[in-house]
Amino acid sequence: MAQKPGGKDGKGGRALHARLTKKGVIKPSSRRWLERHINDPYVHRAKAEGWRSRAAFKLIEIDDKHKLLKPGQRVIDLGAAPGGWTQVAVDRVKSADGAPRVVAIDYLGMDAVPGATVLEMDFLDDAAPGRLMEALGGAPDIVLSDMAAPTTGHQRTDHLRTVALTEAAAEFALEVLAPGGHFLAKTFQGGTENELLARLKRSFAEIRHMKPKASRSESVEMFLLAKGFKGRQTGGG
């Protein structure tokens, strides 16, 4: 299991300042991304502390502030690969390998996470919700979603596709969450539709948008947090 964040300097060692030297092999834009990635302090911390991705620190920061994950809770993690958020959830709800209380799903394959059940399938598959609930064995206390659509290179298209995933995750959360539960999902700045926000505001005690420090400054990603599920409404509400 991954170690908890920490370290002598809180950053898992000094940041490296490396540059790729083989010019002409990759595109300049790809070169810039790779140089930024290998110099990223969160990448180094993740490797040093045993997290599978730097994204783990986004969930850690949000949970440290809002106290979402508690021992004994049930958690569903949508778009889980490579498993950073799953690791954090397992650690914080104290999910045991013999009786997992965390279920993760992604159409991309990912290595097993002790303490979690991992489903390799598309969340948008009609059978996915049933498979998730069967594997979890009860209503989730938290639904997490770090899903993002594969990029096409067209900014508006990529934006709309990821917003659609956020909305699908929210609809699922509204159908399955236990009363008092929480929903946390990736979205984009200005990307959450007003209709969905209005519905979430009716269904949860508190709605927040946030951008963790671990999110890259140039990224347009935000995270939508809906706390305190009021329960399923009747009469079309």
CA torsion through residues 178, 182, 185, 191, sign: positive
The residue type found at 82 is P
**Interhelix angle 56-66/41-49, nearest 10 degrees:** 80
- Rg of the chain over Cα atoms, rounded to whole angstroms, equals 18
Write down the residue that tokens 């083989």 correspond to. 22
The answer to whether residue 186 is catalytic is yes
User: 116 with 96: CB under 8 angstroms?
Assistant: no
User: 81 with 108: CB under 8 angstroms?
Assistant: yes
35: Cβ contacts below 8 Å, ≥ 6 apart: 18, 19, 20
Helical H runs in the chain? 28-38, 41-49, 56-66, 84-93, 128-136, 155-176, 194-203
How many alpha carbons lie under 13 Å from residue 77 in its C-beta half-sphere? 30
Q: Of 8, 22, 47, 186, which residue is the catalytic one?
A: 186
- The residues that are catalytic are 186
